[in-house]
Amino acid sequence: MAVTPFSRSGPFPTGVAADVGYRGGGETMTVRTFTLPEPLPQPNPARRLGSSTPLRLLAIAVGLIAAILLAGTVTAFTVGERRQVLSDLLARAEPLSDSVQELYSELSVADAAASTGFIYGGVEPVEVRERYTTALSEASAAAALASNGMEDDAGRESLLLISRQLPVYAGLIETARANNRLGNPVGSAYLAEASALMQNTLLPAANSLYEATTERVGNEQRMHSGRPWPAIIAVLFAVVVCLAAVPYLARLTGRKINLGVAIAGGTMGVALCWLLVAGLMSSIAATRAVERGIDPLDALTDSRILAQTARSNETLGMVRRSPEEDVQFGPLIDQLREHLDGIDRSVVPNEQLDQVTAVIDEWVESHERITEALLHGDFSAASGIAVDPGIGGSAALFDRLDGELVALIEDSRTNLRDNVDQATRILRGITQGVVLLSAIAVLAVAFGMRNRLREYQ
């Protein structure tokens, strides 16, 4: 039997089918064969899991919470550190600077009072003697207070120098007083030696201390007078992330809005506004502390020292009965005027500065009368003007000037402390407020994302 093959092919649901037939002897035999296609590649389980909606929601929740926690942590650290620095400034740095300023001023007061006492001849008045002894004891007390807070080696060396030389100065003054009572001319020599020790050793050491402590206070204050930018940037980033997540979640879940994430974004937005406004207020208070406290305080303290030094030169010239001995009076007064002219009159009231300037003018006129009397050999008239407690006397005018400067110094220190304290209180509120709002935002994100994740359980 002859067999004739034939074939018929066609589509098959699962592959390619083919009919192969054989004919022979009136009979036909058909065999159907088909070929299966290559199996499709199976997706990676990890990749399929990574593209799943629940895992995306979980990743978004973790990212949002991390951004919010970062904002709260950066704010707490940045603002907290700034508040701690300002608190330390009020508790340690500023009182140390005030102690050094007191030391600087009282040393100069003691020198001026000691020289004034010699003009009377013999025994000086009780009030003049008490002024000297009080200034000397207060200078010693200020040195002791400053030593407790002094941390740098240079400052300790300056304090040690003052502690060693101050008794030497007091001994020279007592020797000069004893000789002056006995009418020995050598008393004026001892007084000049004591004054030279004060002007060339003690006051420069106190001045270096004062400049160092004042510079430290000023630098710390200026360094922390700006806005807390790291905290602002961190909170702004959290706000942007939360707001950007809202429309993305809407597309991912098919919901209009995720209420929890939206609340978190609004909460961090409130935190950002709070941080901006309170940071600005704190910055303004810190800047005022520099402009109305540190800067005028520095100028006024130097002015008082210059006035005390000028008075010491004036009285020393009287003791030696020679106007040539107080050749530094004029230059010292010029420096005093320059310091006062450099003070911002929008910070210190014009009336007070004008009053100080008027007293200086009267003092200069009184000094000119003293110089004229000495040139004519009239020591009695000169000494009368120098120690006259009346309105036109040099002593009375100097006391008025010193009182005005002391009042301005106290006002400047009060402005410094009040503004620093205000800045500190504002910063404390920022830390507490932003941390609280960050916690609320974290809970809102957790609540909002929890509801979406439960839909896939």
Question: For 194-221, how does the pLDDT look when each residue is reduced to its tens digit (9 = 90+)?
Answer: 888 988 899 888 888 888 888 777 777 7
Nearest C-alpha neighbor of 36 from the set 17, 57, 61: 17
């932003």: which residue's tokens?
434
Q: What is the pLDDT of residue 30?
A: 54
- Which residues, including other chains, have CB under 8 Å from residue 99's CB and lie 6 or more apart? 142, 145, 146, 149
Predicted local distance difference test score (pLDDT) of residue 6: 45
| Residue 347 DSSP SS3 | coil
Summarised one tens digit per residue, pLDDT across range 376-429 is: 878 788 878 877 666 677 888 888 898 899 899 888 888 888 888 888 888 888
DSSP of 356-380, one letter per residue?
HHHHHHHHHHHHHHHHHHHHTT-HH
Which tokens is 234 given?
């961190």
Structure token digits, residue 285? 């208070």
Phi then psi dihedrals of residue 11, to 5 deg: -70, 145
Q: Residue 51 pLDDT more than 60?
A: no
121: pLDDT strictly greater than 50: yes
Which string of DSSP letters, residue by residue, matches 17-50?
EEEEEEEETTEEEEEEEEEPPPPPPPPPHHHHHH
Angle between the N-to-C axes of helices 53-88 and 203-223, in degrees from 0 to 180, rounded to the nearest 10:
160
Q: Give the range with max mean pLDDT: 30-34, 367-371, 435-439.
A: 435-439
What does the DSSP 8-state code read for residue 402?
A: H
Could you report the per-residue pLDDT of 86-96, keeping only the tens digit for each?
887 777 777 88
- Whole-angstrom distance, CA of residue 313 vs CA of residue 323: 10
pLDDT for 12 equals: 45
Name the residue type at position 199. Answer: Q
For residue 159, give the amino acid letter: L
DSSP calls for 314-343 = HHHHHHTT-GGGGTTHHHHHHHHHHHHHTS
Kindly tell me if the per-residue pLDDT of 172 is higher than 50: yes
